[in-house]
A and B are shown apart, each in its own frame.
Chain A
Amino acid sequence: QQQVKQSPQSLIVQKGGISIINCAYENTAFDYFPWYQQFPGKGPALLIAIRPDVSEKKEGRFTISFNKSAKQFSLHIMDSQPGDSATYFCAASIQGGSEKLVFGKGTKLTVNP
């Protein structure tokens, strides 16, 4: 019940294309869903986050879509750029509880020029 399942494991897109990464969860108590970007040798950096009271959140080229009934959420990267090549992690947590994040296993994104 504490798992967050992420797919695909790896993704290759062409510059200018749309990258889509999907996550699914079981625990309906989760109420905070962040996405992290990690470059090799670095720590994860918060990219964008959503709460279940909204179905979509957009920040620049990055959009989170959230489907509460299906217990799924996804990250869309529009106009993907080579600089977006990184590993992306979805996560979930229960605010006001232990605050620990449960992470997906990650998606390695490669954007070809």
Chain B
Amino acid sequence: NAGVMQNPRHLVRRRGQEARLRCSPMKGHSHVYWYRQLPEEGLKFMVYLQKENIIDESGMPKERFSAEFPKEGPSILRIQQVVRGDSAAYFCASSPGGGYGYTFGSGTRLTVV
């Protein structure tokens, strides 16, 4: 079991470009969560998805950010027109449901220059 796979591990984007972060959950896990971690801060919840459904997006910024978890393929966190403040580590986690057994990936470190 390869665990939660995130790619890329590091991503550099210029201001105004788009960033696409991918997350493949653990085998058998149908629930995916995205969190953002700023330097010296704890993780902040962004969005919770199940296959083809957004369950809770209360932590997502209203503009420029979107997430999907299609029937086939990885979950994608998309940030349009990135700004310097978007620089952070973005972590994906998956679980089989019920809020237990959360497993985090190693994260994508986004740097906006």
Contacts and interface: CB of A to CB of B under 8 A. Distances in A.
Interface in B9-39: 31, 33, 35
Nearest to A104: B42
Contacts of B35: 101, 103
Contacts of B41: 105-106
B105 A93 contact: no
A101 B93 CA distance: 11
Contacts, number: 65
B66 interface: no
B102 A98 contact: no
A99 interface: yes
Interface residues of B, number: 27
B81 interface: no
Contact of A102 (B45, B48, B105): B45
B106 A43 contact: yes
B106 A99 contact: no
Nearest to B102: A46
B91 interface: yes
A101 B104 contact: no
Contacts of B56: 98-100
A28 interface: no
B54 to A, nearest CB: 11
A101 B105 contact: no
Interface in B68-107: 91, 93, 95, 98-100, 102-107
A44 B45 contact: no
A106 B35 CA distance: 15
10 contacts: A41-B106, A43-B93, A98-B48, A98-B55, A98-B56, A100-B45, A101-B102, A103-B44, A106-B41, A106-B42
Given A44-B91, A101-B33, A104-B42, 19 more contacts: A6-B42, A42-B106, A43-B91, A43-B104, A43-B105, A43-B106, A44-B43, A45-B104, A89-B43, A93-B99, A96-B99, A97-B99, A98-B58, A99-B31, A101-B45, A103-B42, A103-B43, A103-B44, A106-B40
